[in-house]
Structure 1
């Protein structure tokens, strides 16, 4: 993990994966990792609905299997799904064969997608080569750090608001660790970004309509 702003040297080291989008306009991409979860996803969906904002949810297969109705709610609300492995597997600690198997297992319990995000952002170049045969690998240039229980509201908000730029891909988390911080900060962050003229876009064209 690299802190709130992914260093450009890291982005240049792995140019064949998506860290941010090349945008002329103030378009940005909102993403939520680790769901769906009974204690957080519905609240997030409600906020996004009220703000008329769409997002990409990178889902863990185990959670998708346990919460199929929430997966349906995500899709019915106009959002899209990405693959986040079945078991939240760390690619840096897993053989390529087992890693790909875990990705394939996730495919069995989520709607079709060709968007993939590696848990922890950990992935080897040889894994990238195999995964890119089927997926666009979506990383990020802004990490909210909402999973940190000791982060202040000001720091969390600034992690996003002070670092955002055209084409930014922003990560929040749809899990038990993050929901407390989200309830205190997500609405304010979204409003600040909208007030600054940013528009939230989906990775349309990268995932089939379902």
Structure 2
């Protein structure tokens, strides 16, 4: 947390304008995102919590977790949320060759699409097109991606989704209250907010998420998928 701000600086957004940092809107809308799942118990808890507020979100899934927990992945889709790619093994882009990085993304996409298609007949008609509902969003683990990696992924049809606000739910030295404060003090209409449906982040996320939903719902906000 010492080197990464809660709120993404404007200069970072201007340096990488081809990445999505927030959503331009004049409406009271927030875009909650969850990284690193699907995770037993934690992801389903997040889904139940979101459902109680009629909130939609985007889940950036690790390919190997999709393969290990296909039923939880199915629950994300059935609840009307969007799926994003978070690489196959949660690797760091800055220390990975571009060819290896692209393969990680492709492997994760294969896992996502294969698992999606295996359940496709059980979905509502609005979830029948994997290309429109799954393929495009990608978030680099740790936010680490080189310019060349980013250029190649965009050429391959991915939307690189970064963030406007970090909750820091994964940081063990960040309190539950601070995690909540990070989100409510920095989020604005159109903010993309990062949570994690992971074991490491579960204590802070499970405390902050319902409070964030309650706080912004009380102010007339709606929560949308990217």
TM-score (norm 2): 0.87
Q: How does 1:66-145 map to 2 (within 5 A)?
A: 66-111=68-113, 112-133=134-155, 134-145=157-168
Structure having the higher helix fraction is 2
Q: Secondary structure at the match of 2:14?
A: helix
After superposition, the C-alpha distances for 1:18-69 in whole angstroms (9 at most, x for unaligned) are 0001111121111000000113111111101111111100000011110011
Unaligned runs of 5+ in 1: 204-210
The answer (yes or no) to whether the contact 2:30–2:192 under 8 Å persists in 1 is yes
Query: Secondary structure at 2:186's aligned position in 1?
Result: coil
Query: Residue 3 of structure 1: CA displacement?
Result: 2.3
Q: Give the total of aligned pairs.
A: 203
Measured after TM superposition, the shift of residue 199 of structure 1 is 1.3
User: What SS does structure 2 have at the residue aligned with 1:108?
Assistant: helix
Matches of 2:82 and 2:90, distance apart in 1: 19
Cα RMSD (Å) of the superposition? 1.1
Moved over 2 A (4+): none
TM-score (norm. length: structure 1): 0.93
The gaps in structure 2 that reach 5 residues or longer are: 114-133
What CA deviation, in whole Å up to 9, does each residue of 1:117-138 have, x standing for no partner?
A: 0000011111111000211100
